[in-house]
Amino acid sequence: MITRANLRVYGLVLLSLVVLTSSVNRHARLGHWLALQDSNSTLSGYYQFPDFFEQNLKTLPKPSIENLALNGSEYAKFIWAIKLLKEGNADRAKLYWQAAVAKQSVQHRLNLAKLLLELNRWDELSELTEQGLVPESAILEQIKLHFSYPPESISSAYAHQAGFLLSLQELSAENRCEYNVLMMSDHRAGIIKLKRFSSAHALTPEPSVNSFCFSEPVYIGDNIACQTNPLKAATCNWRSLIKKYVWPKNYDFIVMMPREGRGNVRAGIMQLNSQSSYQLFLHELMHFSGFEDEYPVPKNKQAWLCTQKGYVAPNLFVANNVKPPAGWQPSETCEGTVKSYKPDKKWSIMRYQQLPLSAKYRELWIEQIENNHYKPVRYHDYFTMLSQSLVMSDKRVAD
């Protein structure tokens, strides 16, 4: 039975707790205020009231946070690392967040990954991903894209939101265009660059409206192997993919964007790296229509190209004992005794990719596309050739 005496005792106890709690809070706030005034006071205040200090850590000045980080506070280490990352000091920041990240909340780990992504710290993002410390998010999807994870590991919802495809089955060709071009890449930067190229072309279609339509980029990840020497021509191994996919027949050409390699076109397939400029893309696109380079082509190509006679491309006339057309000027395409000619005295985009497409070359390009006698080599033709060579190779092995 609770008597009046007992109630008085309980009341005194509660009052003393309130007074004590109030006193602790006042002292904690006082310690925090002192730390705000003088960073040298931070440690003593933190050791007396660690919970209060950690709850209000972000309000402390930078020297105070650094002081706590250097003296063992896990949360301070992480907050200090975030501040360093925001200042671009990623190497120093790693010394702090690496030891503290595993104990942080999902949101804090996500903030860390976001900053690392903005600074292109891919090795560190890979390390976090392998440890399972990057939460499910758009950032995690971008990390997987960068490292060419298999397409099936990429979120279809994220792919839809980001504007790329994970399957060729989702493609639909545009009937309004003369040519449909399949855009593909095996990594994040390639997907981004292909989307930029498509957007730039849509703003100023070349050589004219409805000449070329481009698909949404298709991510193929680690399903394709591409050479990684930036000094060599960009080259990917298409043989392994010919039978793996059901290729859309209403597409004419492929633009494949690996990480490395010089731009080139071979039999309906353009390959150029993800650091390439839009002007280089246009240059290579003209190769789909049969245009030739106006700088010296490789010796092995000269061996057959420069033995021909007359018009061999919209922009190339080979004068093997034949008089060049009126107004055409010497070209550097062929070297030696055989002379080659181009339609304009000025340098063109086929000589220097940095140059804009001139009115003269745009006109020639349109004429070539409208020329019913010109039959470009499509990627299906190339795949057929590769398939036949594979069959012959298999037969030789079997024999």
> pLDDT tens for residues 77-86?
898 899 999 9
Q: Which of 360, 337, 338, 335 is nearest to 350 (CA)?
A: 360
Domain boundary among 146, 177, 208: 146
Could you tell me if 15 and 137 lie in one domain? Answer: yes
**CB burial class (10 A; 0-12, 13-18, 19+) of residue 36?**
middle
Please give the pLDDT value at position 18. Answer: 34
**Number of domains forming the structure of the chain:** 3
Residues whose CB falls within 8 Å of the CB of residue 204, separated by 6 or more in sequence, listed in order: none
Please give the pLDDT value at position 21. Answer: 41
Could you tell me if 300 and 191 lie in one domain? Answer: no
Helices 188-203, 138-146: inter-axial angle, 10-degree rounding: 100
Does residue 222 lie within any of the structural domains?
yes
Could you tell me if 119 and 222 lie in one domain? Answer: no
Tokens of 74: 């896990």
Instruction: Return the bridge partners of 85, or none.
Output: none
Please give the pLDDT value at position 11. Answer: 38
Could you tell me if 392 and 270 lie in one domain? Answer: yes
Q: How many Å is the Cα radius of gyration of the chain?
A: 33
Could you tell me if 267 and 185 lie in one domain? Answer: yes
Residues in the chain, overall count:
399
Does residue 364 lie within any of the structural domains?
no
Does residue 396 lie within any of the structural domains?
yes
Instruction: Return the bridge partners of 330, or none.
Output: 341
Could you tell me if 334 and 346 lie in one domain? Answer: yes
Does residue 366 lie within any of the structural domains?
no
Could you tell me if 168 and 122 lie in one domain? Answer: no
Q: Which of 356, 358, 327, 354 is nearest to 343 (CA)?
A: 327
**CB burial class (10 A; 0-12, 13-18, 19+) of residue 38?**
exposed
Could you tell me if 26 and 128 lie in one domain? Answer: yes
The ranges of the chain with pLDDT < 70 are 1-59, 389-399
Domain boundary among 121, 146, 171: 146
Residue range(s) defining the domain that contains residue 87: 4-146
